[in-house]
Amino acid sequence: MNKNARIYIAGHQGLVGAAIQRQLASDLLLRTHRELDLTQQTAVMDFFQTEQPEYVFLAAAKVGGIHANNTYPADFLRDNLQIQTNIIDAAYRTGVKKLLFLGSSCIYPKLAPQPMKEEYLLTGTLEPSNQWYAIAKIAGIKMCQAYRKQYGFNAISLMPTNLYGPGDNFNLENSHVLPALIRKFHEAKVRGEPSVVVWGTGKPRREFLHVDDLANAAEFLMTHYDSEEMINVGVGEDVTILELAEKVKEVVEYQGTITFDSSKPDGTPQKLLDVSRLKTLGWQAKISLQAGIESTYRWFLENQEMMRDK
Protein backbone atom coordinates (compact mmCIF):
# COMPACT_ATOMS: atom_id res chain seq x y z
CA MET A 1 0.00 0.00 0.00
CA ASN A 2 1.33 3.37 -1.03
CA LYS A 3 0.61 6.03 1.59
CA ASN A 4 0.02 8.48 -1.25
CA ALA A 5 -2.86 6.38 -2.58
CA ARG A 6 -6.50 7.32 -1.98
CA ILE A 7 -7.04 5.80 1.47
CA TYR A 8 -10.38 5.87 3.27
CA ILE A 9 -10.64 5.28 7.02
CA ALA A 10 -14.21 4.45 8.01
CA GLY A 11 -14.68 5.53 11.61
CA HIS A 12 -11.72 7.90 11.84
CA GLN A 13 -13.13 9.66 14.91
CA GLY A 14 -13.27 6.45 16.97
CA LEU A 15 -10.52 4.99 19.10
CA VAL A 16 -9.15 2.71 16.37
CA GLY A 17 -9.79 4.94 13.37
CA ALA A 18 -8.07 7.90 15.00
CA ALA A 19 -5.03 5.76 15.78
CA ILE A 20 -4.84 4.55 12.17
CA GLN A 21 -5.07 8.17 11.04
CA ARG A 22 -2.15 9.07 13.32
CA GLN A 23 -0.19 6.08 12.01
CA LEU A 24 -0.63 6.93 8.33
CA ALA A 25 -0.20 10.69 8.79
CA SER A 26 -1.02 11.42 5.16
CA ASP A 27 -3.76 12.99 3.04
CA LEU A 28 -6.72 10.69 3.75
CA LEU A 29 -10.37 10.39 2.77
CA LEU A 30 -12.34 11.08 5.95
CA ARG A 31 -16.02 11.68 6.69
CA THR A 32 -17.73 12.31 10.02
CA HIS A 33 -20.99 10.55 10.90
CA ARG A 34 -22.79 13.83 10.24
CA GLU A 35 -21.28 13.96 6.74
CA LEU A 36 -21.81 10.27 5.94
CA ASP A 37 -24.15 7.86 7.75
CA LEU A 38 -22.56 4.47 7.14
CA THR A 39 -25.80 2.64 7.93
CA GLN A 40 -27.36 4.16 4.78
CA GLN A 41 -26.56 2.04 1.73
CA THR A 42 -27.24 4.68 -0.93
CA ALA A 43 -25.14 7.32 0.83
CA VAL A 44 -22.20 4.91 1.19
CA MET A 45 -22.35 3.87 -2.46
CA ASP A 46 -22.52 7.50 -3.59
CA PHE A 47 -19.43 8.30 -1.52
CA PHE A 48 -17.43 5.41 -2.99
CA GLN A 49 -18.47 6.20 -6.55
CA THR A 50 -17.55 9.87 -6.12
CA GLU A 51 -14.30 9.57 -4.15
CA GLN A 52 -12.97 6.28 -5.62
CA PRO A 53 -10.81 5.16 -2.67
CA GLU A 54 -8.10 2.62 -3.46
CA TYR A 55 -7.63 1.25 0.07
CA VAL A 56 -10.14 1.02 2.90
CA PHE A 57 -9.62 0.57 6.65
CA LEU A 58 -13.01 -0.49 8.05
CA ALA A 59 -12.74 0.69 11.65
CA ALA A 60 -16.29 2.00 11.99
CA ALA A 61 -18.49 0.11 14.45
CA LYS A 62 -20.90 0.51 17.31
CA VAL A 63 -18.90 -0.63 20.34
CA GLY A 64 -19.28 -0.87 24.11
CA GLY A 65 -18.76 -3.00 27.18
CA ILE A 66 -20.90 -5.65 28.90
CA HIS A 67 -23.53 -3.17 30.13
CA ALA A 68 -23.99 -1.54 26.72
CA ASN A 69 -24.20 -4.88 24.91
CA ASN A 70 -26.81 -6.17 27.37
CA THR A 71 -28.87 -2.97 27.17
CA TYR A 72 -28.86 -2.38 23.40
CA PRO A 73 -28.61 -5.81 21.70
CA ALA A 74 -30.67 -4.83 18.65
CA ASP A 75 -28.60 -1.69 18.06
CA PHE A 76 -25.32 -3.61 18.26
CA LEU A 77 -26.48 -6.28 15.82
CA ARG A 78 -28.32 -4.05 13.33
CA ASP A 79 -25.93 -1.10 13.15
CA ASN A 80 -22.79 -3.19 12.78
CA LEU A 81 -24.32 -5.43 10.13
CA GLN A 82 -25.44 -2.39 8.15
CA ILE A 83 -22.13 -0.54 8.40
CA GLN A 84 -19.88 -3.41 7.33
CA THR A 85 -22.23 -4.72 4.63
CA ASN A 86 -22.56 -1.31 3.02
CA ILE A 87 -18.82 -0.61 3.03
CA ILE A 88 -17.59 -4.04 1.92
CA ASP A 89 -20.08 -4.21 -0.93
CA ALA A 90 -19.45 -0.64 -2.10
CA ALA A 91 -15.69 -1.19 -1.93
CA TYR A 92 -15.91 -4.25 -4.16
CA ARG A 93 -18.31 -2.63 -6.64
CA THR A 94 -16.18 0.50 -7.07
CA GLY A 95 -12.86 -1.28 -7.59
CA VAL A 96 -11.12 -0.79 -4.24
CA LYS A 97 -7.73 -2.54 -4.37
CA LYS A 98 -7.79 -3.80 -0.78
CA LEU A 99 -9.98 -3.61 2.31
CA LEU A 100 -9.00 -4.27 5.92
CA PHE A 101 -11.84 -5.30 8.24
CA LEU A 102 -11.41 -5.00 12.00
CA GLY A 103 -13.18 -7.60 14.09
CA SER A 104 -12.90 -8.39 17.79
CA SER A 105 -11.65 -11.19 20.01
CA CYS A 106 -15.21 -11.61 21.35
CA ILE A 107 -15.99 -13.62 18.19
CA TYR A 108 -14.39 -16.66 19.80
CA PRO A 109 -16.38 -19.18 21.88
CA LYS A 110 -16.80 -18.30 25.55
CA LEU A 111 -14.91 -21.40 26.66
CA ALA A 112 -12.41 -21.61 23.80
CA PRO A 113 -9.03 -23.20 24.62
CA GLN A 114 -6.43 -20.60 25.62
CA PRO A 115 -4.65 -18.95 23.94
CA MET A 116 -7.22 -18.68 21.16
CA LYS A 117 -6.09 -19.68 17.68
CA GLU A 118 -7.76 -18.33 14.56
CA GLU A 119 -9.18 -21.76 13.73
CA TYR A 120 -11.28 -21.78 16.95
CA LEU A 121 -13.87 -19.53 15.30
CA LEU A 122 -17.37 -21.10 15.32
CA THR A 123 -16.30 -24.11 17.40
CA GLY A 124 -18.48 -23.31 20.43
CA THR A 125 -21.07 -21.10 22.12
CA LEU A 126 -20.47 -17.35 22.35
CA GLU A 127 -20.38 -15.31 25.56
CA PRO A 128 -24.09 -14.32 25.98
CA SER A 129 -23.38 -10.78 27.20
CA ASN A 130 -21.82 -9.65 23.91
CA GLN A 131 -23.13 -12.20 21.42
CA TRP A 132 -24.96 -9.57 19.36
CA TYR A 133 -21.79 -7.66 18.59
CA ALA A 134 -19.85 -10.90 18.08
CA ILE A 135 -22.37 -12.27 15.57
CA ALA A 136 -22.19 -9.07 13.54
CA LYS A 137 -18.37 -9.23 13.50
CA ILE A 138 -18.41 -12.91 12.49
CA ALA A 139 -20.70 -11.97 9.61
CA GLY A 140 -18.17 -9.32 8.55
CA ILE A 141 -15.34 -11.87 8.52
CA LYS A 142 -17.41 -14.28 6.47
CA MET A 143 -18.47 -11.51 4.11
CA CYS A 144 -14.83 -10.65 3.41
CA GLN A 145 -14.10 -14.32 2.75
CA ALA A 146 -17.18 -14.73 0.57
CA TYR A 147 -16.36 -11.68 -1.57
CA ARG A 148 -12.82 -12.98 -2.01
CA LYS A 149 -14.07 -16.44 -2.97
CA GLN A 150 -16.80 -15.33 -5.36
CA TYR A 151 -15.42 -12.07 -6.74
CA GLY A 152 -11.67 -12.22 -6.06
CA PHE A 153 -11.97 -9.12 -3.86
CA ASN A 154 -8.84 -8.55 -1.74
CA ALA A 155 -10.27 -8.20 1.77
CA ILE A 156 -8.45 -9.18 4.95
CA SER A 157 -9.74 -9.47 8.53
CA LEU A 158 -7.88 -8.56 11.73
CA MET A 159 -9.01 -9.76 15.17
CA PRO A 160 -7.69 -7.34 17.80
CA THR A 161 -7.73 -8.16 21.49
CA ASN A 162 -9.07 -5.66 24.07
CA LEU A 163 -7.99 -2.18 23.00
CA TYR A 164 -7.33 1.00 24.96
CA GLY A 165 -5.45 4.27 24.59
CA PRO A 166 -5.78 7.99 23.88
CA GLY A 167 -9.26 8.86 22.64
CA ASP A 168 -10.92 5.99 24.49
CA ASN A 169 -14.51 6.10 25.76
CA PHE A 170 -14.58 6.87 29.49
CA ASN A 171 -18.37 6.87 29.92
CA LEU A 172 -19.11 4.58 32.86
CA GLU A 173 -22.38 3.45 31.26
CA ASN A 174 -20.90 1.97 28.08
CA SER A 175 -17.10 1.94 28.25
CA HIS A 176 -14.74 -1.03 28.39
CA VAL A 177 -13.05 -2.09 31.59
CA LEU A 178 -9.69 -0.29 31.38
CA PRO A 179 -10.95 3.26 30.64
CA ALA A 180 -13.78 2.72 33.14
CA LEU A 181 -11.23 1.87 35.84
CA ILE A 182 -9.14 4.94 35.02
CA ARG A 183 -12.15 7.20 35.45
CA LYS A 184 -13.38 5.42 38.59
CA PHE A 185 -10.03 5.62 40.34
CA HIS A 186 -9.45 9.22 39.28
CA GLU A 187 -12.85 10.41 40.49
CA ALA A 188 -12.48 8.49 43.75
CA LYS A 189 -9.10 10.16 44.25
CA VAL A 190 -10.52 13.64 43.59
CA ARG A 191 -13.49 13.07 45.92
CA GLY A 192 -11.43 11.43 48.63
CA GLU A 193 -13.53 8.26 48.56
CA PRO A 194 -12.16 5.38 50.67
CA SER A 195 -12.93 2.58 48.20
CA VAL A 196 -13.51 1.87 44.50
CA VAL A 197 -16.02 -0.81 43.53
CA VAL A 198 -15.12 -2.95 40.51
CA TRP A 199 -17.62 -5.18 38.71
CA GLY A 200 -17.30 -8.95 39.06
CA THR A 201 -14.91 -11.09 41.05
CA GLY A 202 -11.62 -9.78 39.66
CA LYS A 203 -10.68 -13.28 38.52
CA PRO A 204 -11.27 -13.12 34.71
CA ARG A 205 -8.12 -12.72 32.66
CA ARG A 206 -7.86 -10.17 29.85
CA GLU A 207 -5.26 -9.17 27.28
CA PHE A 208 -4.85 -5.46 26.50
CA LEU A 209 -3.33 -3.94 23.36
CA HIS A 210 -2.54 -0.25 23.05
CA VAL A 211 -4.44 1.19 20.10
CA ASP A 212 -1.28 2.72 18.60
CA ASP A 213 0.20 -0.79 18.42
CA LEU A 214 -2.95 -1.96 16.62
CA ALA A 215 -2.67 0.90 14.12
CA ASN A 216 0.93 -0.05 13.42
CA ALA A 217 -0.13 -3.68 12.91
CA ALA A 218 -2.96 -2.60 10.60
CA GLU A 219 -0.57 -0.72 8.31
CA PHE A 220 1.88 -3.63 8.42
CA LEU A 221 -0.78 -6.19 7.48
CA MET A 222 -2.33 -4.00 4.80
CA THR A 223 1.10 -4.10 3.17
CA HIS A 224 2.26 -7.64 3.98
CA TYR A 225 -0.82 -9.88 4.39
CA ASP A 226 -3.19 -11.12 1.70
CA SER A 227 -4.83 -14.29 3.04
CA GLU A 228 -8.55 -14.99 3.37
CA GLU A 229 -7.87 -16.36 6.86
CA MET A 230 -8.38 -13.86 9.65
CA ILE A 231 -5.37 -13.01 11.79
CA ASN A 232 -5.16 -12.26 15.51
CA VAL A 233 -3.57 -9.02 16.72
CA GLY A 234 -2.55 -8.87 20.38
CA VAL A 235 0.37 -8.97 22.79
CA GLY A 236 0.19 -12.66 23.72
CA GLU A 237 0.01 -11.95 27.49
CA ASP A 238 -2.89 -11.32 29.87
CA VAL A 239 -3.63 -10.15 33.42
CA THR A 240 -6.49 -10.65 35.87
CA ILE A 241 -8.97 -7.82 36.34
CA LEU A 242 -7.62 -7.55 39.90
CA GLU A 243 -4.08 -7.09 38.59
CA LEU A 244 -5.34 -4.54 36.07
CA ALA A 245 -7.19 -2.60 38.78
CA GLU A 246 -4.05 -2.54 40.92
CA LYS A 247 -2.00 -1.20 37.99
CA VAL A 248 -4.54 1.56 37.32
CA LYS A 249 -4.70 2.40 41.03
CA GLU A 250 -0.92 2.79 41.07
CA VAL A 251 -0.81 5.00 37.96
CA VAL A 252 -3.64 7.23 39.20
CA GLU A 253 -2.02 7.35 42.66
CA TYR A 254 -5.26 6.49 44.42
CA GLN A 255 -4.75 5.72 48.12
CA GLY A 256 -8.00 3.88 48.92
CA THR A 257 -8.96 0.21 48.66
CA ILE A 258 -10.43 -1.96 45.90
CA THR A 259 -13.62 -3.97 46.44
CA PHE A 260 -15.35 -6.30 44.00
CA ASP A 261 -19.10 -6.59 43.41
CA SER A 262 -19.52 -10.29 42.64
CA SER A 263 -23.22 -9.78 41.86
CA LYS A 264 -22.13 -8.18 38.58
CA PRO A 265 -21.19 -10.36 35.57
CA ASP A 266 -17.62 -11.42 34.93
CA GLY A 267 -18.07 -12.19 31.24
CA THR A 268 -15.75 -14.68 29.56
CA PRO A 269 -13.32 -16.31 32.06
CA GLN A 270 -10.28 -15.68 29.84
CA LYS A 271 -9.60 -14.03 26.51
CA LEU A 272 -6.01 -14.46 25.35
CA LEU A 273 -5.13 -14.51 21.67
CA ASP A 274 -2.59 -16.79 20.05
CA VAL A 275 -0.50 -14.32 18.03
CA SER A 276 2.04 -16.78 16.66
CA ARG A 277 0.83 -16.27 13.09
CA LEU A 278 1.37 -12.52 13.36
CA LYS A 279 4.81 -12.93 14.97
CA THR A 280 5.83 -15.28 12.16
CA LEU A 281 5.12 -12.45 9.72
CA GLY A 282 7.54 -10.25 11.67
CA TRP A 283 5.32 -8.02 13.84
CA GLN A 284 4.84 -7.80 17.59
CA ALA A 285 3.51 -5.22 20.05
CA LYS A 286 5.92 -2.67 21.50
CA ILE A 287 3.96 -0.68 24.14
CA SER A 288 3.91 -2.24 27.62
CA LEU A 289 0.70 -2.26 29.67
CA GLN A 290 2.30 0.00 32.30
CA ALA A 291 3.43 2.59 29.74
CA GLY A 292 0.10 2.34 27.93
CA ILE A 293 -1.97 3.00 31.06
CA GLU A 294 0.26 5.96 31.91
CA SER A 295 -0.16 7.55 28.46
CA THR A 296 -3.92 6.91 28.50
CA TYR A 297 -4.28 8.50 31.93
CA ARG A 298 -2.32 11.55 30.75
CA TRP A 299 -4.71 11.88 27.79
CA PHE A 300 -7.68 11.55 30.16
CA LEU A 301 -6.35 14.33 32.38
CA GLU A 302 -5.74 16.61 29.40
CA ASN A 303 -9.20 16.05 27.93
CA GLN A 304 -11.52 16.05 30.96
CA GLU A 305 -13.38 19.16 29.84
CA MET A 306 -14.66 17.51 26.66
CA MET A 307 -15.80 14.50 28.74
CA ARG A 308 -17.63 16.49 31.42
CA ASP A 309 -21.11 15.35 30.33
CA LYS A 310 -20.11 11.85 29.25
Residue 242: C-alpha distances to residues 126, 204, 262, 274 (Å): 24, 8, 13, 22
Beta carbons of 153 and 99 less than 8 angstroms apart: yes
Beta carbons of 258 and 196 less than 8 angstroms apart: yes
Beta carbons of 46 and 92 less than 8 angstroms apart: no
Task: Write down the catalytic residue from 8, 55, 92, 133.
Answer: 133
Q: Which residues are annotated as a binding site for NADP(+)?
A: 11-17, 102-105, 137, 160-163, 176
Q: Which residues are annotated as a binding site?
A: 11-17, 102-105, 137, 160-163, 176, 184, 199, 206, 266
The answer for residues whose C-beta is within 8 angstroms of residue 56's C-beta and 6 or more apart is 7, 8, 9, 10, 87, 91, 96, 98, 99, 100
**What is the rounded CA–CA span in Å between residue 237 and residue 267?**
18
225 is catalytic: no
Tell me the catalytic residues.
133
